[in-house]
Amino acid sequence: MRVSTFNELPVSRSMLRRFGGYCHRLYIGEDEFYDMGNLSSDCYPLLSPRRRRGSILTLEKANGLFAKQKLIWVNGSTLYYNGAPVGQVADSEKQFVSMGAYVLIFPDKKVLDTTTLTLKDMEAAFSTVGTTTYTLTKEDGTPYDTPTVSATAPEEPEDGALWMDSASTPHTLKQFSAYSAAWVPIATTYIRIGATGIGALFGEGDGITISGSILEALNADCIVQRRGEDYLVVIGILDEALSQSTALSVQRKVPDMEFLTEHNNRVWGCNSEKHEIYACKLGDPWNWNCFAGLSTDSYAVTVGSDGDFTGAASYLDYILFFKADRVHIVQGTKPANFQVMMQIMRGVEKGSEKSLAMVNEVLIYKSPEGICAYTGGQPVPLYEAFGNVRYKNAVAGAFRGKYYVSMQEEQGSRHLFVYDLARQLWHREDTLHAKYFAKLGDELYYITDGGLIGTVAGSTKLYEGAAEEGARESEVEWFAETGEWGMDSPDQKYISRILLRMTAEPGSRVTVCVQYDSSGIWEQKRTLTAGTRRTFTIPLIPHRCDHMKLRISGTGSCKIFSISKEIEQGSELNGRF
């Protein structure tokens, strides 16, 4: 009699002790997750949910959020600093720039002085009423004696006599020196413009634009040399004192700019329509039109590249003005040596200008292709984990070495992703639609599209001295979905047993589901609720299948230490079933 014998099938075990992040591609590593919600790298290499967020205040219409020693936000048309209203602005979305003690607010072109909490206009305009006088003066505004105006030099002049040489164009003021027996040209002459209240809105050194003057040479850009309540002194030449009764206009202008940044005590901005880049006067955000040949001057340049500007940032020792497919790099320390260079690269996507954020020493932003990291050369792609899913309209913030970005999927839904720069891992949190982010102290604040001011780390106070506190979230609901296990094995191998090792806090709930052979149906295998803080080992015996996916979900605090799989080698006989 012949007896058949069966050899014992080999069994192997693989164990995951380090958990990767989000990877939404068809083929992913066993330690990565095809989909997830509200998970974090805080406890890496363990798998754990994110911390509970804080929920503080809801604004009627959120128009901006910024942090400078205290939190600044705009609700409708009211500007708040540290929880108190400090002024009125236009009811529109704002862009903020910090410079010294000032916060610049665009497109309003206003400046908030954070020491005095006063709100001032950057631009100024004045039109005279009544008589305007013009007098030839010295730099301090002291009038000269009336000069002799002629094409030839006066005969037998006294020492110090003045002669306006009309033979030259423009005319030249000269003074006789008895010591040298010669007429010496006065290099720079000044005109004092007198009118009631004309100097009230302007300061010495301001770049102004004059129009409506009877002196055509004054209808131009010039710089205020001296000022008083009722006069301005500018560089100019004048044969004799004049006056006019028609209106004279004086303006201090700020260019229209889309994206701004601060660098080395200057504010920089750009204008797509004019293809121009601007910088304010050194340390003076009120003045953008001062061109006197000094190192402190304003700066303006036209660039020749096509397309609109899409963002601006200060990085290392230069300024970056992005377009979708390139960047203009401004280097230098003063107008005399400022240089603008263009580099073709993945720029900032249009509509994602708020995605620019500095994480440690790395500038991260959303390009048309996806999230990129910039360190001074060509940008490094960080978007492989998103697979074929495309996103747009990104808004980002940086916090504790992580990049938080809220992006819109092409289908319209929003997702909040977090990139851990040190561990190079992505995690998806939820569908939070953040319009603004601002980091203050050890907290990252955000405002949602519904006007809710929330916190990433769970703080419940919005400003210093707040009497009322907000609330923290209830227990966080989370899940992690693996890729397809078993698709890469051509042999008759199958997973015979799965063990999950974890800890859970009291009241936490964990559910484990399995999906077989891409059926689209999740079969619930185990559900556990922790009565006390304890460690669990959850065993699973899956059905025999070609491939499978695992989904772990739960509510509350939980840490997964390991997932182990026992893999058996099937026989040809077993392989038929």
Residues 6+ apart with CB under 8 A from 360: 401, 421
Confidence of residue 567 (pLDDT cuts 50, 70, 90): confident
355, with CB counted inside 10 A (0-12, 13-18, 19+), is buried
Comparing 103-117, 145-159, 441-455, the range with the smallest average pLDDT is 145-159
DSSP string, 82-148: TTEEEEE--SS--EEEEETTEEEEETTTEEEETTTTEEEES-EEEE--S-EEEEEE-TTSPBPPPPE
Comparing 146-160, 219-233, 479-493, the range with the smallest average pLDDT is 479-493
Note the pLDDT of residue 577. 33
Confidence of residue 573 (pLDDT cuts 50, 70, 90): very low
Note the pLDDT of residue 571. 55
Confidence of residue 113 (pLDDT cuts 50, 70, 90): very high
Considering only CA atoms, which of 498, 479, 484 is closest in space to residue 551? 479
Note the pLDDT of residue 39. 97
Phi/psi zone of residue 64: left (φ > 0), alpha (ψ -120 to 50 degrees), beta? left
The whole-angstrom separation of Cα 92 and Cα 90 is 6
Note the pLDDT of residue 576. 35
Does residue 10 carry a pLDDT above 70? no
pLDDT (mean) for 125-137:
95
> How is residue 26 written in tokens?
């068809």
Confidence of residue 468 (pLDDT cuts 50, 70, 90): low
Beta pairing class for 84-88 and 402-409: unpaired
Confidence of residue 145 (pLDDT cuts 50, 70, 90): confident
For the beta sheet containing 231-235, the strands, ordered from the edge strand earlier in sequence to the opposite edge, are 226-228, 231-235, 190-194, 132-137, 242-244
Comparing 95-99, 459-463, 522-526, the range with the smallest average pLDDT is 459-463
pLDDT in tens, 56-74: 889 999 999 999 999 999 9
Confidence of residue 491 (pLDDT cuts 50, 70, 90): low
pTM: 0.91
pLDDT (mean) for 82-97:
96
Does residue 7 carry a pLDDT above 80? no
pLDDT (mean) for 226-247:
94
Does residue 191 carry a pLDDT above 60? yes
Beta pairing class for 249-252 and 318-323: unpaired
pLDDT (mean) for 29-37:
94
Note the pLDDT of residue 546. 84
pLDDT (mean) for 15-25:
93
pLDDT (mean) for 32-41:
96
Q: Which residues of 81-116 are buried (b: 16+ CB within 10 A; e: fewer)?
A: bbbeebbebeeeebbbbbbeebbbbbebbbbbebee
Confidence of residue 531 (pLDDT cuts 50, 70, 90): confident
Average pLDDT, rounded, for the chain:
92
For the beta sheet containing 534-540, the strands, ordered from the edge strand earlier in sequence to the opposite edge, are 11-16, 558-569, 493-504, 534-540
Comparing 208-212, 468-472, 476-480, the range with the smallest average pLDDT is 468-472
pLDDT in tens, 361-377: 999 999 999 999 999 98
Note the pLDDT of residue 180. 87
219, with CB counted inside 10 A (0-12, 13-18, 19+), is middle
Q: Where are the alpha helices (DSSP H) in 468-575?
A: 572-575
For the beta sheet containing 124-127, the strands, ordered from the edge strand earlier in sequence to the opposite edge, are 124-127, 249-252, 207-211, 221-223
Confidence of residue 532 (pLDDT cuts 50, 70, 90): confident
Does residue 423 carry a pLDDT above 80? yes
Confidence of residue 574 (pLDDT cuts 50, 70, 90): very low
Residue 345: φ, ψ to 5°: -170, 175
pLDDT in tens, 386-396: 999 999 999 99
The whole-angstrom separation of Cα 183 and Cα 252 is 38
pLDDT in tens, 265-323: 999 999 999 999 999 999 999 999 999 999 999 999 999 999 999 999 999 999 999 99
Does residue 559 carry a pLDDT above 70? yes
